[in-house]
Structure 1
């Protein structure tokens, strides 16, 4: 990286940080809660072993077994493993969307809504899977649950590739989506396990590249495959790619969830020392040796409890769900627009997704460079006291870009303006989506680090449910209103949501403090 590039990036971060600092309204009178794991004294970040009190924790603050103390190379390496499969999973969500017309021809399906559903049904699996996988990871640990979910994703690609009819394809896609939700759900937990608050913005940005860029790369490759070697090869390729990555995870991944690690340590020490009174310092008040049924019942309640008892998380989930639904509305309509309006082939039409993809890359770069820096500036301004709401002010800036895309793309495509114009018009949406999505993702990790997987399951379930259903309305919407007014309607709705981040920034802390949620 040149000195000029570095200075330019520093300037971007400083400018954005200054704008945010002058507009954010943080109430310094409220003490922050639930940011770090419980600690026996105010000066200690991690609970330590105290056998006299019957508590089992870490062997000192620098215990090398504590994932927070892993070397930087090991931390980023473990996150890279999760990120790799997190790329494969969303890739499978949209890779065959440009080739869906070939599916209709071979399986004799003419209903456009059914064909769109065969694409979006994958997201219904995303909506169901996290509600089970997140609690399981908080009982058995991240590693085993992630591995199981990965292989579940891989196996169902076989069913998709061999599907004799549309019904079988839809069912197999549903189950594949349930397995594919594993890395999307557990990645947030891994970030909370491994990284301190001041590094989570960058970690979340890098991990989130997969969920947001995968769906853009998918149609690009899937369009050419569907046109040349057949739509079934889309799933064979996903099978091979998913199996290779999953195999690598089996050999290289390791457990990172502190509560599970200390629980195992407690059980080991109880046997070695012959003491039945030992208990984990992370859950000292938990019932001794709770049954699997009790743990599972309690764990399954967490994502639901968080959604219905935390208004701020419910509002953020709804906002992200709406924006995410618009993304998949793009995915299910772009290919047809460029084939009918510009006469592109199925393979070439996949290139149209690059507009959103470049927007994603630019958005994640800016967010990675500025998110943690802004957080640290606001923390210093607040007397060194961190608040999760310090992640949210940047949303105000990014939200303004989202509606612009619909007016730009919609009318340029409607009037058949030169093809590069509507493609460029999709870039602001990708940029804005990253800037809205990433702060919310990091916000819930900061709020609930011990149960980050369950908190993220709430976001994933709601956004995936909406993302699966909104695209079904796309064909009728554009048939009735046309590309210009149809996209303008979506643009006006997105415009109405722009003030929402201001509400989150100004009143999010008060709402969260007024409605605390006990997830222990």
Structure 2
């Protein structure tokens, strides 16, 4: 089972990375934030829906049925992948001269990317893919902070699926299925957070850009400033109101604050990195995905020990305090990010 779980994660990780990249390929600069946010909706909704299905099916059909549920959803998607076209402009352009060379028997036709990479060796590619993400993180404080912050947010989000049964089961007497239904608040949170985020993108980013005003990458972080404050507020509200004498909707509202803010901050950070370091965006996204996965994996492991050692209130207070410390980091990045980028050897 452990070996199969390894292969599941190993072969599933490229799909998680390719989805957002494909949405970026097929949308223009003005609609890209909206397209990427739809990707975020499904990313946050996936574990919530999975918990709901598991809460109602596993008690009656056994734990193996949860694996069959994955097969039912993944099977048609695997077939669909066989018919999906490539979306990167570089790949489409690369295939065009190949057809021209084949039809004309003239080998002189080359794309710019072919000419630029003709002297690049396999060692150069491995360095670009495996070493460069860590080098940029180590030498650039702003990128290092965003990696740590996004990893912390993913860890807290994943640990909530461990905290929920602890709270809504023993405290409020809910069954596994009912606890899963409460997780629908994550989907509601993402949808509600989209309203102010889309409004800012439309009026604060797209409208000035169409009018010819040049915006800095730090201008994209403005929604993250507000969202960063709501995260610790929501965590504190969840931790300190999860009591039998307080209605279950109150701590659930705290989760809504935190989850909606998670999505907004992650979107802002991804856009910021892509605009600040476009030349190394692929490497940075790869390194950031690895950091998120590792820290989120740790979040699943320390959820129960944290609760057993400190209790729910103090444990959630610790997580809220960590997020509160990171609030200052977002404000520093917004205020001094341009100076840090100018000093970076990786700035473009």
Q: Is the 8 A contact 1:405 1:426 kept in 2?
A: yes
Q: CA deviation at 1:194?
A: 2.4
Which residue number corresponds to residue 95 of structure 2? 264
Which residue number corresponds to residue 72 of structure 2? 240
Superposed, 1:224-303 pairs within 5 Å as 224-251=56-83, 253-273=84-104, 276=107, 278-282=109-113, 284-287=115-118, 295-296=125-126, 298-303=128-133
Which residue number corresponds to residue 271 of structure 2? 442
Q: Is the 8 A contact 1:338 1:349 kept in 2?
A: yes
- TM-score normalised according to structure 1 size: 0.61
Which residue number corresponds to residue 391 of structure 1? 220
Cα-to-partner distance string for 1:142-167 (whole Å, 9 max, x where unaligned): xxxxxxxxxxxxxxxxxxxxxxxxxx
Distance 1:228 1:495, change over 3 A: same
Unaligned runs of 5+ in 2: none
**2:170 is paired with a residue of what secondary structure?**
helix
The answer on 1:189 being equivalent to 2:21 is yes
Match of 1:376 among 206, 212, 228: 206
Q: Is the 8 A contact 2:242 2:251 kept in 1?
A: yes
Match of 2:46 among 176, 197, 214: 214
Match of 2:283 among 454, 466, 482: 454
Which residue number corresponds to residue 12 of structure 2? 180
Which residue number corresponds to residue 472 of structure 1? 301
**CA distance in structure 1 between the aligned counterparts of 2:214 and 2:234, rounded to whole angstroms:** 38
Superposed, 1:59-458 pairs within 5 Å as 168=1, 170-251=2-83, 253-273=84-104, 276=107, 278-282=109-113, 284-287=115-118, 295-296=125-126, 298-377=128-207, 379=209, 384-414=213-243, 416-447=245-276, 452-458=281-287
Q: Is the 8 A contact 1:402 1:429 kept in 2?
A: yes
Count of matched residue pairs: 348
**CA distance in structure 2 between the aligned counterparts of 1:266 and 1:297, rounded to whole angstroms:** 28
**CA distance in structure 1 between the aligned counterparts of 2:287 and 2:69, rounded to whole angstroms:** 31
**CA distance in structure 2 between the aligned counterparts of 1:510 and 1:269, rounded to whole angstroms:** 47
Distance 1:477 1:357, change over 3 A: same
Unaligned runs of 5+ in 1: 1-167
Q: Is the 8 A contact 1:185 1:453 kept in 2?
A: no
Distance 1:234 1:484, change over 3 A: same
**CA distance in structure 1 between the aligned counterparts of 2:93 and 2:175, rounded to whole angstroms:** 56
**CA distance in structure 1 between the aligned counterparts of 2:259 and 2:122, rounded to whole angstroms:** 43
Q: How large is the RMSD of aligned CA atoms in angstroms?
A: 2.6
**CA distance in structure 1 between the aligned counterparts of 2:345 and 2:306, rounded to whole angstroms:** 40
Q: Is the 8 A contact 1:201 1:372 kept in 2?
A: no
More helix as a share of residues:
2
The answer on 1:502 being equivalent to 2:331 is yes
Distance 1:476 1:244, change over 3 A: same
Distance 1:293 1:275, change over 3 A: farther
- TM-score normalised according to structure 2 size: 0.89
Q: Is the 8 A contact 2:232 2:320 kept in 1?
A: yes
Q: CA deviation at 1:362?
A: 1.1
Q: Is the 8 A contact 1:328 1:471 kept in 2?
A: yes
Cα-to-partner distance string for 1:330-374 (whole Å, 9 max, x where unaligned): 112211322222222222221232233321221134323322432
Distance 1:291 1:269, change over 3 A: farther
Q: CA deviation at 1:472?
A: 1.6
**2:31 is paired with a residue of what secondary structure?**
helix
